[in-house]
Chain A
Amino acid sequence: MKTPTAYGGSVAVPRLPTWLGSQSIINILLEQGVDTVFGYLGAAVLPLFEQIGKVTGQTASINDYITDCLNQETIMTQNAPQNTAPAKAGSQHIVDILEEQGVEVMFGYLGGVVLPLFDKIYDSRIKFIIPRHEQGGCHMADAYARATGKVGVIIATSGPGATNLVTGIANAMMDSVPLVAITGQVRTELIGNDAFQEADMTGITRPITKHNMILKNPAELPQAFREAFYIARTGRPGPVLIDLPVDMQIAQIPVTPPTPIELPGFHLRTRGHARQISLAAQAINEAKRPVLYVGGGVIISNAAEELRTLAQKANIPVTMTLLGLGAYDQGRDESLDMLGMHGSAYANYAVQNCDLLIAVGARFDDRVTGRLKSFAPHAKVIHVDLDPASISKNVNADIPVVGDAKEVLKAMAEEVEFRPREDWFKQIAVWKKKHPFRYDTNAKVIKPQYVIEEIWRQTQGQATIVTGVGQHQMWTAQFYKFSRPRQFITSGGLGTMGFGLPAAIGAQLARPGELVIDIDGDSSFNMTLTELSTAVQYELPVKVCILNNGYMGMVRQWQELFYGKRYSCSYLQNPDFANLARAFGAVGYTVEKKEDVAPTIDKMIKETRPCVVDFRVDREENVWPMVPAGKSLDEMSGLDIFEMA
């Protein structure tokens, strides 16, 4: 290859078969007869200036101006202007935003298209928990959010990893839990192409998320993540899904200061309308037989104190939904405990006979109302809720109040007055005396209710209790009396079996050092028992009490009552749970005799490792009372089983 004449022989230029781009440029400049070049150094032109430096001395061809610049070269490189904004990878943006949003614990499972994100997580100070199945991880994040009030975070890879989250996301949606689910997605060019491990997560989760988005423009990534957290926790909380293509994680995105959140379609009204609140207070003051019907919204709103103030100032009895348990101290006389399908008789009778029903943060779910046409037939209805869509959806509200429970209850309490309501409380006392929750305490076989009562006694009613779904869940709601919000964590709206163990893990992470007990059923436990490994790996001393009756208890009860005891497919062959627990590295006990119940619970509470206790309980015990489908709340079955005079 011919050596360009411009360089002469005084400069040592390596005779290479190829030229560096910068060398070629200098050659061409000289060839073109350029004798003056103007320029300013910077990082991205260092190679070119290096070549320029090599032609120093060629005064005939290169102007002295360049030489001057070159003499300043070292100074300039040190003071190189930052004319490009600092940029970092999308995945780094994400981890930084998670930390900025106050995330301390998060959950997730690896996969191909989330490798870039996990690489940045490796250096993060956030505690990361790996479940054995994405569904378990999602329930963990959900329970963590319920216990702390913070936003839970779950990460999964594309395709099957993401679809494994569907149950958990739907569960969070139904119970209004703040969750951010980050699912990896295939590269943007491959979307819609049936790529490997591709799934249309935004399509699949649209009906079960508060909001979802797929990120295709790297510049939008930081704001999108901040918006996701904002939407998840603001107003009525809910799960938000971000579908994150792998190239978005790798893309270099400039770092810009955060811009304010602008969501034109997101409206929030927290302070109730003053006139509506006054009308409500007036109705309360005039009511002879009022009832406060309180749901999960009171707990989400952190309004337990305002509720207590209102209930005691105005002298109103309080009944709670499954998700509202803990909003009012069940140790107090005014508590009517839970209402509804398996609620207390005294709560159901109170609702059916009240003249004013004050619903706060509850949505008149069908498990609560029974037959809608005959629900609370004599009552005027006040409905306080943050979500206007819930008001008058099932039951017409005479006095609707759209607002945050905490703010509304506070304002309402200022306008109510004490009324003695002696007759009403006398009537309630009669119902309470005649129909307490009860079971056969003399039975030789272990009654599941006895196990729960014993747990309650030995924990002084102070433990964090988590359940699966089924009969055991209902008995827990009936026999474990709760005294504070966020003490009881259970799957209400969706009723997801298998919620128990992963939820206990999430709750334990939220409350290190505190006692967390999962009261579970054998069929529910079977669904997610693989998460015992997670509890062992992260040394989370959760306690699992399996009320083992060898059946899918709740549906077996329905088969007994409505299908002539044809137990079609409602039984499972179970492993030896205690042995299984030991194989996982946890502690296991089996209890088959009534006299071993109390001592084993005592041992369990003192365990410092994850512990499973298999209580072999009465196989065909039923949950009473029960409002059968299609009946009204006062048409309960099972009241006569242990009728008290």
Chain B
Amino acid sequence: MKHILSALVQNKPGVLAHVAGMFAARAFNIDSLTVGRTEDPTLSRMTIVVIGNDKTVEQVRKQLAKIITVVKVQDFAGLDVVARDLMLISVACPPEKRPEVLALIEMFNAKVVDIATKYVMVEVSGPESKIEAFIEACRPYGIKNMVRTGSVAMPRQTRAATQDEDSSK
């Protein structure tokens, strides 16, 4: 089962290595890890997708929190979150297939960012399921290359979401 953890960490050299090292040492399974700056220059936010059961993820969360340079850890399980993954994918696209492929791209609300005689590079962003679906849709045409960022996520702030949160307590 995939869990999304969001960790606020100090923006210091070595913190990423420390977190990654801890996961490796304790044999936790990372599906994806992405880190970037926040509005506070001293802090970065790390979004980690972990594969494991509830007990494992609980231990992951506690071990993360134990690291001195990790300021706060949130487990997004049970929360309504917006999660997005971004992918750049190079799809084989000979001229005769181009209309099909472009139609597919439009259906997914994706963007063409590069075009060559036989390939087209597409930028897709969205929840993981959309990315996976686009990959499957492209597979028959042939995928030359692809790169993904991994998920970033933030809990929803809408009224409905917070009401759910209160009632679940």
Contact = CB atoms under 8 A, between A and B. Distances in A.
Interface stretch (A384-392, A433-441, A557-565, A619-627): A384-392
A263 B10 CA distance: 10
B17 A265 contact: no
Interface in A360-397: 387-389, 392-393
Contact of A203 (B9, B17, B69): B17
A14 B2 CA distance: 84
Contact of A206 (B9, B18, B72): B18
A393 B70 contact: no
A211 interface: yes
Nearest to A387: B66
Interface string B37-77: 00000000000000000010011001101111111100000
A267 B17 CA distance: 21
A203 B14 CA distance: 8
A443 to B, nearest CB: 46
Interface in A155-171: none
B21 A206 contact: yes
Contact of B14 (A206, A265, A266, A387): A206
A264 interface: yes
Interface centre among A210, A263, A264, A267 (most CB of B within 10 A): A264
A389 B66 contact: yes
Interface string B113-138: 00000000000000000000000000
Nearest to A210: B68
Contact of A231 (B17, B18, B68, B70): B68
Interface string A264-283: 11110000000000000000
Contact of A389 (B21, B55, B59, B72): B59
A211 B68 contact: yes
Contact of B62 (A207, A231, A265, A388): A388
B68 A206 contact: no
B22 A265 contact: no
Contacts of A267: 65
A265 B63 CA distance: 12
Contacts of A387: 66
Given A206-B14, A206-B17, A206-B18, A389 B62 contact: yes
Nearest to B26: A207
A264 B58 CA distance: 21
Nearest to A391: B62
A265 B67 contact: yes
Contact of B68 (A202, A263, A389): A263
A610 to B, nearest CB: 39
Interface residues of B, number: 21
A267 B66 CA distance: 8
Contacts of B1: none
B21 A265 contact: no
A546 to B, nearest CB: 36
A264 B66 CA distance: 12
Contacts of A263: 68
B25 interface: yes
A387 B69 CA distance: 16
A202 B25 CA distance: 16
Contacts of B62: 388-389, 393
Contacts of A203: 14, 17
Contacts of A388: 62, 65
A207 B23 CA distance: 10
A265 B69 contact: yes
B59 to A, nearest CB: 6
Nearest to B25: A207
Given A206-B18, A207-B22, A207-B25, A264 B71 contact: yes
Interface in A192-225: 202-203, 206-207, 210-211, 214
Contact of A265 (B55, B58, B68): B68
A20 B118 CA distance: 74
Interface of B: 9-10, 14, 17-18, 21-22, 25, 55, 58-59, 62-63, 65-72
29 contacts: A202-B14, A203-B14, A206-B14, A206-B18, A206-B21, A207-B21, A207-B22, A210-B68, A211-B68, A211-B69, A231-B68, A263-B68, A264-B10, A264-B71, A265-B9, A265-B67, A265-B69, A265-B70, A265-B72, A266-B68, A267-B65, A387-B66, A388-B62, A388-B65, A389-B65, A389-B66, A392-B55, A393-B59, A393-B62
Nearest to A203: B17
A455 B113 CA distance: 81
Nearest to A231: B68
Nearest to B58: A392
Nearest to B73: A265
A152 B63 CA distance: 25
Nearest to B42: A264
Contacts of A266: 68
Contacts of B9: 265
Interface in A447-472: none
B25 A265 contact: no
Contacts of A211: 68-69
Contacts of A392: 55, 58
Interface in A325-356: none
A363 B60 CA distance: 17
Contacts of A210: 68
Contacts of A202: 14
Contacts of A207: 21-22, 25
Contacts of B67: 265
Contacts of A389: 59, 62-63, 65-66
A387 to B, nearest CB: 7
Nearest to A396: B55
A192 B69 CA distance: 23
B24 to A, nearest CB: 9
A566 B147 CA distance: 54
Contacts of B55: 392
A210 B22 CA distance: 12
Contacts of B10: 264-265
Nearest to B18: A206
Interface in A380-426: 387-389, 392-393
A203 B24 CA distance: 14
Nearest to B63: A389
A515 to B, nearest CB: 39
Given A203-B14, A389-B65, 14 more contacts: A202-B14, A206-B14, A206-B17, A210-B68, A211-B68, A211-B69, A264-B10, A265-B9, A265-B10, A265-B67, A265-B69, A388-B65, A389-B63, A389-B66
B39 to A, nearest CB: 15
A203 to B, nearest CB: 7
A210 B17 CA distance: 15
Nearest to A394: B59
Nearest to B59: A393
A203 B21 CA distance: 9
Interface centre among B22, B58, B68 (most CB of A within 10 A): B68
